[in-house]
A and B are shown apart, each in its own frame.
Chain A
Amino acid sequence: MKTLILNGSPRADHGNTQLFIDHFQSGLTRPLSVRYILRENPEKLALEMHDYDTILLVMPLYIHAMPGIVMKLFEKLKPHPTNHKIKIGFIVQAGFIESSTARFLEQYLSSLANRLNYTYLGTVIKGDAAACSILPHFFFGKLFKQLKALGAYYEKNGSFNPLLVTKLGYPVDLSKFQVRLLESPLVKRLNQIGWNWILKRNGCFENRFDQPYL
């Protein structure tokens, strides 16, 4: 089973997508090859994808869907010229907490696989991941363990472990209680501390509400 991992982040190998790939790979006995969509010619890559049995595309959520560079690759994809049935699976990580934020992307990815006559392995969605590469690793210890287990299961079975997919996708939507908590003045303030700290460190806190394009 020849698998190719594609990294679909515009930050290529120094973003959160790369961390997801690294932890997925840590569950494998033999690492898989990784290519970076940012650095590829989409037409050439689309053709070379036909040499694999399975494609795993790992990407950040960008404006409720795939980053522009990934859509540019999708535009070049064609069904395999022979009967060879390629399998394709996706891992999407996002900033917002609830995984339902990626629901239209998930629907599109499934429909794309169908369009291309590929076998769809599903889409793993993990929200609340924007700070993965900023905060110390122990904040995300549980996530990294789950990704390692996802990798180990994939190597053994050639598919995503449905239990892990459910766990990573939690919460699908915010509960009323979560909304009330997140909207409470204290939690709102706490949530802003991180952003404001970065803005202050960069000397632009006073400009945070600028409207430069008016």
Chain B
Amino acid sequence: MSFVRDTWIIFERSMLLALRQPEWVVIGLMQPVLYLTLFGPLLQTIAATSGFEGDAWQVFVPGLLVQLGIFGGLFVGFGIIAEWRSGVIDRQLVSPASRAAIITGRTLRDVVVILVQAIVLVGAAFFMGLRVPAGALLIGLVLVALLGAAFSFISNAIGMATKSEDALAPIANTLALPILLLSGILLPMTLAPAWLQVVANFNPFKHIVEALRAVFLGHFSDPIVWIGLLLAVVLVVIGAWVGSRVLTAQTK
């Protein structure tokens, strides 16, 4: 009850602040759009020849969406460190607000920002030739939101646990690289040697990307879809749990 109310209050404040600095939202948008315009055309020819099923956009846009969810969330921790420095976090911790709400409200803001970026991305992709069922787009947005939430929770948690930009930056980069390389976001993992495919199977994001690709091809009943969604939900739950723990530990 008070968790929902407090989350909303924290979200509203964070959202207003984000709206006051739209340049960050725009910068966040630039990246996927650049990928789309500069890397997409390259893929047109590759997609036809390599292990992908479907056209270049059906393969490429799910990868970009997953990437947006991951990277959109992974670096938000810098914001919470800045807020902690200016005393905002302590000020909220000394109020009766639910500890979980203090982080969830911020994560919700990140999810909204990421969703806006995802919608712009999908819109741009449509103009470049992406054609998928509406249901696929919906599932795509849900997945992006879940991934964004999970990574925002984790990044905010790391930010509050370390309180240091110098610590957060390498941790976030170290997390990002294997996730990206082993997920088949940029190239299909079917091109990889057997051992690499085995390793990649342990990467939940590979399955999430595959789930979204299946959906983009209209294969809604493929079990991978449920696996992908379930994995994303599990990640959010883990993130929320860790995040709330870290916030509670602030007053230890």
Do the two chains belong together in a single complex? Answer: no
Interface residues of A (CB under 8 A from B): none
Residues of B within 8 A of A (CB): none
